[in-house]
Amino acid sequence: MPKYLTVKPIEMESEHSLVLLHEEDAEELGVYIGDRLKLSTSSSSLIAIVNLTTKMVQPGEIGTPVEVSREMGLNVGEIVMVSPVPQPTSVRAIRKKMEGKHLSHQEIGEIVTDIVRNNLTSTELSAFVVSEYTQGMSMDEIVSLTTHMVETGEKLHLEVGPVVDVHSIGGVPGNKYALITVPIAVAGGAVVPKTSSRAITSAAGTADIMEVLADVSFDLGEIKEITERVGGLIAWGGAVKLAPADDILIRVERMLRIDPRCQMLASVMAKKLAVGAEHVLIDIPTGPGAKVENRSEARSLAQSFMELGRRLRVEVEAVITYGGQPLGRTIGPALEAREALETLLGRGPNSLVEKSVGLAGLMLEMVGIVPTGRGKEVAFEILRSGKGYEKMRQMIEAQGGDPNVKPEEIPVGEKKEVIPANEEGYVTHIYNDRITAIACTAGAPRDRGAGVKLFVKRGHKVNRGKTLFEIYAEHENKLEEAIKMTRKNFPMRIEGMLLEKVSERPREW
């Protein structure tokens, strides 16, 4: 039976449509924590998840957090009709996947639709992500997941082309390639509407770095206008509803510290399809400390991306790049923005130039602007001539930034600690995860000026007292914590040429 309750707006935010009921009202309605209620007024209705309280609302009241009040247009004291509703059918599909069974196109569609509508509880969302991780998905299921994620979100329709996009699966500190690759490709004639993520566990996402130089939050109309006028942009994907189910699932993945391969494939391709990409280049960094540590696994992942592309009628090429140490010499938003501009000005480190130019060249080849095999040469000439830098200036200006900013004018953290070598030898290893942890402890990415600047890389000879790296921070206490972390888990291994003495045991006669 329905029940009428008085609205009491609650100043709290929730990722889901949530309401608060007094335990007496919940008992009368026959609902428990995690059950669902339909809220109805004369002009709107909403399905919400129940939470119980004895203090925040009184019997006869219903607590409506900010999102619910806004969506339904509820005001304090208004009367709403509430009635229990059954668990969505998508929960049965999630349970089916937990048992290792194949899901139909329709069942996956039900799950994605309920994710986007916030009809699933945190527990149900977690169950789905864990089932993806433990049970996996067939390619048919991944295709269904991808197409449903695209269909439940907005789409970018451009009147220019050819549209090409690039994506790195990440896992490497300092992976700022996009700020060099995209303007080079656009300067060469490609159209690149690159929507990127902010950092979740890393020290700087592409959107965080670009935001140092210009605005990255645009609606779909603004992305269309800038892309058609300039040829490309680098924007934050979270500002638009491109494959919105993906953003929700990613938050669950990060909380659980798992990255289901099937979800990664669907996630990447859904975002690219949503911006109208006809050609997609996938970068798979590989090496010790990277997300993918060996080439056989990288090749398998590359084949999966290409097969998914064939099924979705999108040209996909994949490249395996070295990811066993940081890319370039900087980690952290402002430091990486500096290094990106320096690279476009012809002063970048070899590793960053090599990767960025190589990817841009492949993008130009994919869209037929240059012949196969000549892309890298053409991309390098665009960089050398300064055309890539000029295109980046146009992108920065179109996105509301200062196109005349110089690398050295970008502010970094004023608090700094120099870390010297305490012995002579060669750098034999740099631990990606430790470098990232130090930069994050120093404040990155929230504090844009925080991060790490490397002065040596793997294979470099160092003398005692030589600077290995510098830590930057905006706050003294964060710098101190980063220094403590450095001492606890030093991010480099330095060894001499003599690694070990091996002696034969004396013979016994």
Catalytic residues: 259
DSSP secondary structure letters along 100-124:
TPPPPHHHHHHHHHHHHTT-S-HHH
Residue 367, burial from CB neighbour count under 10 angstroms (0-12, 13-18, 19+): buried
Sheet with 461-462, strands from edge to edge, namely 461-462, 425-430, 492-495
What is the DSSP-derived secondary structure letter of residue 292? B
Residue that the structure tokens 């527990």 belong to: 123
CA-CA distance, 135 to 115, in Å (whole number)? 20
Peptide bond connecting 285 to the previous residue in cis, omega within 30 degrees of 0: no
Dump the DSSP string for 195-244: EEPPPSSSS--HHHHHHHHS-----HHHHHHHHHHHSEEEEEGGGTTSSH
Structure token digits, residue 431: 């631990």
Contact 249, 125 (CB under 8 A): yes
Q: Which residues contact 501 (CB under 8 A, 6 or more apart)?
A: none
| Residue 253: half-sphere exposure toward Cβ, Cα within 13 Å | 20
Q: Which of 66, 67, 64, 69 is nearest to 51 (CA)?
A: 64
Location of structure tokens 């844009």: 448
Residue 454's alpha-carbon distances to 97, 407, 427, 430, in angstroms, are 45, 17, 12, 10
Task: Let me know how many helices (H) and strands (E) the chain has, helices first.
Answer: 18, 18
Both tokens assigned to 188? 């060469």
Residues 6+ apart with CB under 8 A from 371: 365
Query: How much of the chain is helix, strand and coil, in % rounded to 5?
Result: 45, 20, 35
- Asked whether the bond before 162 is cis by omega within 30 degrees of 0, the reply is yes
